Structure 1
């Protein structure tokens, strides 16, 4: 049975729940979903809520009206002090990066500036052949933000990151995929179904183990091998204390698909490595 619910978080963000998947749709199509003050606040609150809702197993971020996001809306007047403006961006970037659930960016149309870095902050990026990307900041007299200075070098290396940020080139989806900035390129007519199936696969996974794995991969990029091994050992101890580990081994022995819940369950039964 489908558990479906839709709500509007402010006038410019639509939240929809369906079978453990929460989809956040940036909804300012008249501005190609450029993010103004109200949308930054709504997005921050929605990410925080998703991270604290046990019913949400996967988060999808997308845009309305044939565009993903054209970045921060610098055309809208905002009297907020620049420090407070950047704090809003910082909150969104950190909340997205640290969400304990898998995240998917469904990129339709343009994703530029902070809009592109919002997509790059997700764990997986699905684009269409019509998608276009640019680190447009320098054209506006600005430097990279929303985590781009950290994300880009890790994803493409320092030299290619400088190329994208300094030259502000607009690249297409295939170029982005070649640079490891897009995970899949899917025809526009198939992208909705593709993301639904991808999200369903993630929902079916063990939530605690996926959260541990995501955190380990995020942290491992900045750690020594010794640090990473210590973190992995701690994470496995958490996994062994869930019902999912025993369920996985039982399902394997019984030749059936496991049913993962993330439920805490400590017993005397040993789980083999």
Structure 2
């Protein structure tokens, strides 16, 4: 991951920090960034990675797809489909890996940048952050999982409003709508993300991954199917190293050591 040009990736024990790093282009997602995001996400899909923190360099989180990159391609549709495919691989991997994904939204998040921002299992927003879909403004339709995520996060009516009117939400609006977990002062965002990452590093990666998997599947399951999945998974966790350690630590009134 050290050979990336459009994202900066720093890995320490159990933690990967991923920074979108095209500040001169508002961290717009071009073909290279989409490929690198997919590769970085694949590297994060590892039991030793407990936390992934995603943020942007400079004033923007991400302005979404890089329209200059798309417009310069000889076959725009084919080019854009390839970019979307790579971005979607990244999003799918991050959504389904065991690691807790923390997004630290440091500025404007538009288009696919909006989707990437609210992908976080825990989403922090700086007070100056903003969110807008922006696709129909240029005659395009959403990608980056927006049509999946937003109806589930804010409901169908509000998802339609965001996508059809390109309404811009402030950080406080996004908090009230349930799109973000917490809003913090601009100069406190990095520190708060570090605090949250440190707290998550002390938790059980397998249990966190199980929570994510159960919640993702819950929208497609009936009640009994979902409860059966819960029963099977909690039984598996009870036999796992982390499950045994967690229960034993609780009974012994000590802090668990989830290695």
TM-score (norm 1): 0.89
CA distance in 1 between counterparts of 2:48 and 2:247 reads: 24
- Superposed CA RMSD in Å reads 1.4
Match of 1:184 among 182, 185, 197: 182
Take 1:90 and 1:192, find their aligned partners in 2: how far apart are those partners? 26
Give the C-alpha shift of residue 260 in structure 1.
0.9
SS at match of 2:141: coil
Structure number with greater CO (CA < 8 Å, separation at least 6) is 2
> Equivalent residue for 2:95?
97
Work out whether residues 34 and 83 of structure 2, in 8 Å CA contact, stay in contact via their aligned partners in 1. Answer: no
Match of 2:102, SS?
Answer: strand
The CA distance in 2 between the partners of 1:121 and 1:69, in whole Å, is: 13
Query: 2 CA distance for matches of 1:9 and 1:175?
Result: 38
Gap runs ≥5 in structure 1 = 1-6, 262-273
Structure with bigger helix share is 2
Question: What is the CA–CA distance in structure 2 between the aligned matches of 1:62 and 1:170, rounded to whole Å?
Answer: 20
Query: What whole-Å deviation, never above 9, does each CA across 1:97-130 have from its counterpart, x for those lacking one?
Result: 2122110110001100000101122211100110
1:197 aligns with 2:195: yes
Aligned length: 254
Q: Distance in 2 between matches of 1:98 and 1:243?
A: 21
Structure 1 counterpart of 2:147: 149
SS of 1:185's equivalent? strand
What is aligned with 1:62? 55
Larger displacement relative to structure 2 (205-214 or 37-46): 205-214
Alignment of 1:71 with 2:69, yes or no, is: no
Moved more, 112-121 or 244-253: 244-253
Could you say which residue in structure 2 is the equivalent of 1:223?
221
Distance 2:4 2:243 in 1: 40
Q: Residue 9 of structure 1 contacts residue 15 of structure 1 at CA under 8 Å; is this kept in 2?
A: no
Give me the TM-score of the superposition, normalised by structure 2. 0.94
Runs of 4+ in 1 over 3 A off after TM superposition: none
Post-superposition CA distance 1:150-170 (Å, at most 9, x none): 111100011111111100011
